[in-house]
């Protein structure tokens, strides 16, 4: 699929078929994530790929009971790795770059999943401590985004956007 078609096609999908995602597609998504840019190429993020039903249900609960998370065949959880970025960039790395690294990584996963014919939803509403505890992640990692991925069971409704004039200042 042409890149701009992917952008046009990507809309949040919150209902998924039970059909599992092929391993080759999962690996393609993981490789796309790995190719993302990062500050100083430190790749200051960690990613959990959650397939276990019980774990997905727990994640849903820590994400304000957004139940479509448990229904998605695959749930990615992106964590920033502040210490990894701090080694080179100190406070700026720990507070800023690692968050950006993890966010870009999630955006790459989202767009590559769409390019593979899958639906996704970015989830930012979650309780950090609970999410970390349910995945037993080291204390220093910071959860940045949950990404649900699966074959869509709905045709998502297009959402409006601000005008180019409102968003951009050309000087
Ligand atoms: C940082 C961020 C947090 C979001 N959190 C949630 C969320 O917790 N639950 C949800 O259903 N959608 C969430 N979304 C998806 C947005 O609601 C969605 O992207 C937006 O309404 C635009 O719709 P579209 O994705 O279909 O273009 C989030 C998106 C972003 C980028």
pLDDT tens per residue across span 78-89: 999 999 999 999
Residue 157 CA: nearest ligand 1 atom is 26
| Residue with CA closest to ligand 1 atom 3 | 124
Angstrom CA distances, 55 to 3, 12, 30, 59, 168, stand at 33, 22, 20, 6, 41
The pLDDT score that the predictor gives to residue 22 is 98
The pLDDT score that the predictor gives to residue 160 is 98
| Nearest C-alpha neighbor of 143 from the set 118, 91, 106, 114 | 106
Domains of the chain: 3-7+16-153 (3.40.109.10)
The model's pLDDT over 99-130, given as tens digits with 9 standing for 90+, comes to 999 999 999 999 999 999 999 999 999 999 99
- State whether residue 35 is helix, strand or coil: coil
60: left (phi over 0), alpha (psi -120 to 50) or beta: alpha
Is the CB of residue 152 below 6 angstroms from any atom belonging to ligand 1? no
* Under 8 Å between Cβ of 109 and 76: yes
Is the CB of residue 156 below 6 angstroms from any atom belonging to ligand 1? yes
Ranges of H-type helices in 79-137: 82-92, 98-115, 128-135
Distance, in Å, from the CA atom of 109 to the CA atom of 75, rounded to the nearest integer, reads 11
The pLDDT score that the predictor gives to residue 23 is 98
- Cα of 121 to ligand 1 centre, how many Å? 7
Q: What is the mean pLDDT of the chain?
A: 98
Is the CB of residue 125 below 6 angstroms from any atom belonging to ligand 1? yes
The pLDDT score that the predictor gives to residue 116 is 98
- Cα of 87 to ligand 1 centre, how many Å? 32
The model's pLDDT over 43-72, given as tens digits with 9 standing for 90+, comes to 999 999 999 999 999 999 999 999 999 999
Query: Is it the case that residue 1 has pLDDT exceeding 90?
Result: no
Cα 53 to its chain centre, rounded Å, is 18
Residue 126 CA: nearest ligand 1 atom is 8
| Residue with CA closest to ligand 1 atom 29 | 122
The model's pLDDT over 13-36, given as tens digits with 9 standing for 90+, comes to 999 999 999 999 999 999 999 999
Query: Is it the case that residue 11 has pLDDT exceeding 90?
Result: yes
Is the CB of residue 124 below 6 angstroms from any atom belonging to ligand 1? yes
Q: 47: which residues sit within 8 A by CB, 6+ positions away?
A: 30, 33, 76, 77, 78, 79, 105, 109
Q: What is the pTM of this model?
A: 0.98
Is the CB of residue 12 below 6 angstroms from any atom belonging to ligand 1? yes
Distance, in Å, from the CA atom of 99 to the CA atom of 105, rounded to the nearest integer, reads 10
Is the CB of residue 121 below 6 angstroms from any atom belonging to ligand 1? yes
| Residue with CA closest to ligand 1 atom 10 | 123
* Under 8 Å between Cβ of 78 and 131: no
Quickly tell me which residue has 């790995």 as its tokens. 34
């Amino acid at each position: 699929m042409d890149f701009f078609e992917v952008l046009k096609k990507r809309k949040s999908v919150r209902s998924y078929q039970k059909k599992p995602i092929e391993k080759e597609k999962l690996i393609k998504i993981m490789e796309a994530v790995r190719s993302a840019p990062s500050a100083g190429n430190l790749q200051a993020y960690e990613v959990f790929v959650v397939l276990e039903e019980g774990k997905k249900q727990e994640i849903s609960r820590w994400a304000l009971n957004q139940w479509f998370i448990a229904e998605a065949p695959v749930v990615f959880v992106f964590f920033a790795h502040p210490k990894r970025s701090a080694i080179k960039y100190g406070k700026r790395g720990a507070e800023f770059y690692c968050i950006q690294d993890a966010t870009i990584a999630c955006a790459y996963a989202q767009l590559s999943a769409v390019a593979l014919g899958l639906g996704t939803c970015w989830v930012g509403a979650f309780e950090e401590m609970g999410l970390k505890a349910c995945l037993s992640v080291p204390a220093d990692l910071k959860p940045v985004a949950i990404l649900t991925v699966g074959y869509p069971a709905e045709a998502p409704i297009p959402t409006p956007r601000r005008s180019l004039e409102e968003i951009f200042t050309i000087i």
